[in-house]
Amino acid sequence: MSMSGEECGRGIAGFFTRLVVDMIDSFGMLWNWFMGRFEWSPMRLFAAAIIGLVYLASPIDIVPDVIPFAGWIDDIMVATAVVRLARFDLERYRRWRVKAD
């Protein structure tokens, strides 16, 4: 069950709630695609995920992770960018999931 933007709230808490919900839906979409249930290929999600994983696995960061809290900001920004790149695929998956239920 996914949440809409209004259900997630506003501010920092809403931002992180939407990010978590989008990431969970991304994994659900990939799982359903691999299982053959969701037939539309989520190529934007694949591309965004690969870019995000390469950046997060890379030892080179915009802000080093050894700096408390500030070092995580660039990682959060990358995760947010990955989800935004995959937004079209996520919305299509959510519509499919509503019809499938």
Give 94's pLDDT tier (boundaries 50, 70, 90).
very high
Average pLDDT over residues 23-40: 87
Structure tokens at 41: 């290929």
Please report the pLDDT score of residue 84 as a whole number.
80
Per-domain boundaries in the chain:
5-100
Query: Which of 94, 75, 70, 84 lies closest to 3 in space, CA to CA?
Result: 94
Please report the pLDDT score of residue 3 as a whole number.
53
CB within 8 Å of 72: residues ≥ 6 apart: 65
Mean pLDDT for the chain?
A: 80
Structure tokens at 45: 């999600």
- The Cα-based distances of 6 to 1, 14, 17, 52, 94 in angstroms read 14, 9, 11, 26, 16
Please report the pLDDT score of residue 5 as a whole number.
45
pTM (two decimals): 0.62
